[in-house]
């Protein structure tokens, strides 16, 4: 079982190697003499490795359990050092301290291994091994250098996970049987998947050189170009049907075109994500059926299938947009605490002898690490709402609200808040998500209030006329409307849509805590329930959130 690894690059690492070897020997129950002999032998060879500086060597400490349940403490030092040739005296000295020392060469690498039998090995059971491993994962840093080293290891692990996530996204675009591409804000391609490159016979795509409009049949593209110009002025989802020219052939194939704008935290357009979906077969069938009355029903069925296809593309567009948002978060919001940790780590190294300065920078590193942890947790919560198959059930909204208020009892008492609510109905919903929705809205009302919060929560059934006035709702279904009204600080109406964007904030973190994902979660929950969420607010006079949900 691997216990701990230590890189061997400088004198500070030599000290860590000695102390961790000593501590592991102590936890294994070895005598003080054996502890000292084991740690001294390890540090003697580690000193030679650090002195030679030939590569990036490391020390691997572990406990081995044989088939006969015999336990051994093992230290392995892996490097490119030729011990027999360059350090024979050090090897002989180590062998006098430890009985079992072996040198194994594998290609350019050499491993020198120290093996120490553990007496009373029955005491080293599975629980003991787990506690030893846990100790080294959670142990207090031996020095400021060790603390910085641990933080850097954590950063490397996070960076590796982000790279893996990006690679999975790239693999997805290569395997989907769709032409997927991204453009800059003006519509010039900066990425195209394999399907697109093969269709248009593009060997290597040069970023920002080729507009997606160049793929269109020029004779039938005037209307599409006009609509695209309008979409560029006020960036919204752009869809169209057009013929795309097959490279090196006098042939055009009908495709469904869809482009979705990607915006930054300031609601500024930064790029577009697009799809080309082959609908040539459907279009040919449509043309064949135009004057054939007998097959009109079949035509209607095809149109229905096409509508379903467009809905699927729209859903895929939304999913891809979420992926783009996550990529933006990875490159911006998560990079901010990373940059701070790297900067403060560098300052710690420079001021390693100044205890007061080191403690100050370590405190800042800890704060940045905590912020990164909060950001990652919030991203995970948001991603769960996207991926999880939702289990709808009969849900008592009044009972859920009471549970939420009970959970927030301390915060409500601390702010001296008054919360009034009437009777709330029972609807078909996902209970856990409704609870999170209520929690976020009440929490916002408490947070963004400089006085004593007054919160009113009301419910009503929408009339047929009211449902008809909301085009996004399914006509003929029953809906309820929930209102969360407070007397908080409010905000200007022009930001009403912006606040539902992930990681979007209207106030600085110094003024109000949080990551800016709460209302984005609310919108995602309402979307999952096929409902609507809107907000009305006025600076200094409070805010009212209105949520429309299906009653059935």
pLDDT score for 511: 42
Cβ atoms 61, 74 nearer than 8 A: yes
Q: How confident is the model at residue 427 (pLDDT cuts 50, 70, 90)?
A: very high
Please enumerate in sequence order all residues whose Cβ is within 8 A of that of 159, keeping only pairs 6 or more positions apart, or say none: 338
Higher pLDDT, 365 or 54: 365
pLDDT score for 160: 67
Higher pLDDT, 326 or 354: 354
Give me the percent of the chain exceeding a pLDDT of 70: 80
Residue whose C-alpha is closest to residue 161's, from 372, 418, 463, 426: 372
* Average pLDDT, integer, range 442-471: 90
pLDDT score for 162: 59
Q: How confident is the model at residue 507 (pLDDT cuts 50, 70, 90)?
A: very low
* Average pLDDT, integer, range 521-549: 90
Please enumerate in sequence order all residues whose Cβ is within 8 A of that of 186, keeping only pairs 6 or more positions apart, or say none: 211, 232
Which of 92-96, 163-167, 479-483 has the weakest average pLDDT? Answer: 163-167
CA distance 284 to 548: 41
Q: How confident is the model at residue 214 (pLDDT cuts 50, 70, 90)?
A: confident
| CATH number of 176-331, picked from 3.40.225.10, 3.30.470.20, 3.30.450.20, 1.10.3720.10 | 3.30.450.20
Residue whose C-alpha is closest to residue 190's, from 206, 201, 167: 206
Q: Give tens-digit pLDDT for 88-98.
A: 898 888 888 88
CA distance 503 to 378: 9
Is residue 510 scored above 60 in pLDDT?
A: no
CA distance 257 to 278: 9
Reading the block at residue 407, the tokens are 């959970």
pLDDT score for 167: 64
Distance of CA 6 to the CA centre of its chain: 29
Half-sphere exposure of 427 (CA within 13 A, CB side): 26
Give me the percent of the chain exceeding a pLDDT of 90: 19
pLDDT score for 82: 85
548, with CB counted inside 10 A (0-12, 13-18, 19+), is: buried
Strand ranges inside 280-341, DSSP E:
none
Instruction: State which of 176-185, 384-393, 532-541 shows the largest mean pLDDT.
Output: 532-541
| Rounded to 5°, angle at Cα 111 from 108 and 116 | 175
Which of 16-25, 113-122, 341-350 has the weakest average pLDDT? Answer: 113-122
Residue whose C-alpha is closest to residue 20's, from 53, 51, 46: 46
pLDDT score for 268: 87
Indicate whether this model's pTM tops 0.75.
no
- Decide: helix, strand or coil at residue 551: coil
pLDDT score for 70: 85
Task: Name all contacts of 36-40 with Cβ < 8 Å and 24+ positions apart.
Answer: 37/97, 37/98, 38/73, 38/75, 38/97, 38/98, 38/114, 38/116, 40/97
CA dihedral 391, 393, 396, 400 (to 10 degrees): -20
Which of 239-248, 375-384, 393-402 has the weakest average pLDDT? Answer: 375-384
pLDDT score for 482: 95
CA distance 72 to 98: 13
Is residue 426 scored above 80 in pLDDT?
A: yes
Q: Give tens-digit pLDDT for 43-78.
A: 888 888 888 887 788 899 999 988 777 888 999 998
CA distance 477 to 479: 7
* Average pLDDT, integer, range 117-144: 75
Q: Is the dihedral of CA 465, 469, 471, 472 positive or negative?
A: negative
Is residue 457 scored above 90 in pLDDT?
A: yes
Which of 173-182, 322-331, 473-482, 513-522 has the weakest average pLDDT? Answer: 322-331
Which of 99-103, 179-183, 408-412, 515-519 has the weakest average pLDDT? Answer: 515-519
Distance of CA 308 to the CA centre of its chain: 30
- Residue 544 β-bridge partners: 485, 536
Domain boundaries along the sequence of the chain: 2-139, 176-331, 388-550
Same fold for the pair 2-139 and 176-331: no
Tokens 């994500």, residue?
A: 273
DSSP string, 430-485: -HHHHHHHHHHHHHHHHHS-SS--EEEEEEEEPPHHHHHT-TTS-TT--EEEEEEE
Tokens 């449902």, residue?
A: 467
Its CATH class, for the domain covering 2-139, is alpha beta
CA distance 294 to 539: 63
Instruction: State which of 156-170, 374-388, 522-536 shows the largest mean pLDDT.
Output: 522-536
Instruction: State which of 132-141, 285-294, 511-520, 532-541 shows the largest mean pLDDT.
Output: 532-541
Reading the block at residue 550, the tokens are 């299906």
DSSP string, 364-427: HHHHHHHHHHHHHHHHHHHHHHHHSPP--EEEEHHHHHHHHHHHTHHHHHHHT-EEEE----EE
Higher pLDDT, 229 or 148: 229
CATH architecture of the domain with range 388-550: 2-Layer Sandwich (3.30)
Higher pLDDT, 236 or 316: 236
Q: Give tens-digit pLDDT for 1-35.
A: 888 888 888 888 888 888 889 888 888 888 888 88
pLDDT score for 481: 94
Tokens 């808040």, residue?
A: 417
* Average pLDDT, integer, range 243-260: 83
pLDDT score for 508: 42
Which of 99-108, 137-146, 191-200, 213-222 has the weakest average pLDDT? Answer: 137-146
Please enumerate in sequence order all residues whose Cβ is within 8 A of that of 9, keeping only pairs 6 or more positions apart, or say none: 50, 56, 57
Residue whose C-alpha is closest to residue 111's, from 44, 58, 38, 63: 58
* Average pLDDT, integer, range 361-368: 82
Average pLDDT, the chain: 81
Q: How confident is the model at residue 506 (pLDDT cuts 50, 70, 90)?
A: very low
Distance of CA 94 to the CA centre of its chain: 48
CA distance 393 to 342: 48
Is residue 155 scored above 70 in pLDDT?
A: no
Q: Is the dihedral of CA 20, 26, 27, 29 positive or negative?
A: positive
CA distance 17 to 49: 12
């Amino acid at each position: 079982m691997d216990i701990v690894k230590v890189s061997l690059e400088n004198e500070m690492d030599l000290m860590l190697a000695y102390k961790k070897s000593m501590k592991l020997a102590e936890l294994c129950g070895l005598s003080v003499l054996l502890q000292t002999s084991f740690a001294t032998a390890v540090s003697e060879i580690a000193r030679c490795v650090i002195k030679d500086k030939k590569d990036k060597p490391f020390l691997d400490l572990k406990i081995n359990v044989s088939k006969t349940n015999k336990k051994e403490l093992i230290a392995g030092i892996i490097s490119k050092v030729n011990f027999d040739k360059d350090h024979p005296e050090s090897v002989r000295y180590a062998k006098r301290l430890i009985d079992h020392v072996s040198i194994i060469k594998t290609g350019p690498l050499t491993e020198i291994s120290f093996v120490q039998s553990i007496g009373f090995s029955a005491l080293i059971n599975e629980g003991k091994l787990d506690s030893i491993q846990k100790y080294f994962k959670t142990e207090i840093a031996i020095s400021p250098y060790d603390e910085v080293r641990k933080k850097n290891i954590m950063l490397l692990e996070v960076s590796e996970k982000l790279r893996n996530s990006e690679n999975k996204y790239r693999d997805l675009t290569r395997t989907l049987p769709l032409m997927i591409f991204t453009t800059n804000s003006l519509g010039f391609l900066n990425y195209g998947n394999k399907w697109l490159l093969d269709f248009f016979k593009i060997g290597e795509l040069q970023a920002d050189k080729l507009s997606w409009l160049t793929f269109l049949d020029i004779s039938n593209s005037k209307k599409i170009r006009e609509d695209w110009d309008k979409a560029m002025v006020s960036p919204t989802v752009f869809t169209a049907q057009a013929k795309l020219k097959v490279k090196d052939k006098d042939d055009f194939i009908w495709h469904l075109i869809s482009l979705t704008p990607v915006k930054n935290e300031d609601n500024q357009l930064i790029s577009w994500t697009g799809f080309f979906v082959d609908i040539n077969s459907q279009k040919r069938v449509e043309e064949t059926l135009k004057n054939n009355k007998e097959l009109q029903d079949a035509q209607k069925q095809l149109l229905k299938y096409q509508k379903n296809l467009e809905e699927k593309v729209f859903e895929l567009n939304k999913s891809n947009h979420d992926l783009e948002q996550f990529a933006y978060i990875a490159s911006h919001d998560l990079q901010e605490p990373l940059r701070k940790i790297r900067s403060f780590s560098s300052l710690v190294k420079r001021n390693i002898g100044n205890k007061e300065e080191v403690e100050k920078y370590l405190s800042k590193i800890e704060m940045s690490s905590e912020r990164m942890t909060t950001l990652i947790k919030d991203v995970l919560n948001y991603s769960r709402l996207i991926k999880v198959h939702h289990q709808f059930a009969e849900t008592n909204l009044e009972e859920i609200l009471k549970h939420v208020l009970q959970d927030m009892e301390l915060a409500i008492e601390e702010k001296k808040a008054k919360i009034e609510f009437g009777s709330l109905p029972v609807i078909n919903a996902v209970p856990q998500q409704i609870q999170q929705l209520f929690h976020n809205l009440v929490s916002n009302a408490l947070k963004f209030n400089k006085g004593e919060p007054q919160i009113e929560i009301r419910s009503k059934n929408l009339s047929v006329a009211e449902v008809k006035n909301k085009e996004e709702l399914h006509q003929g279904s029953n809906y309820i409307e929930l209102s969360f009204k407070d007397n908080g600080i409010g905000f200007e109406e022009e930001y009403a849509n912006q606040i539902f964007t992930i990681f979007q904030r209207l106030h600085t973190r110094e003024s109000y805590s949080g990551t800016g994902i709460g209302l984005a979660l609310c919108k995602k929950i309402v979307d999952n329930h096929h409902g609507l969420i809107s907000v009305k607010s006025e600076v200094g006079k409070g805010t009212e959130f209105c949520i429309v949900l299906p009653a059935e």
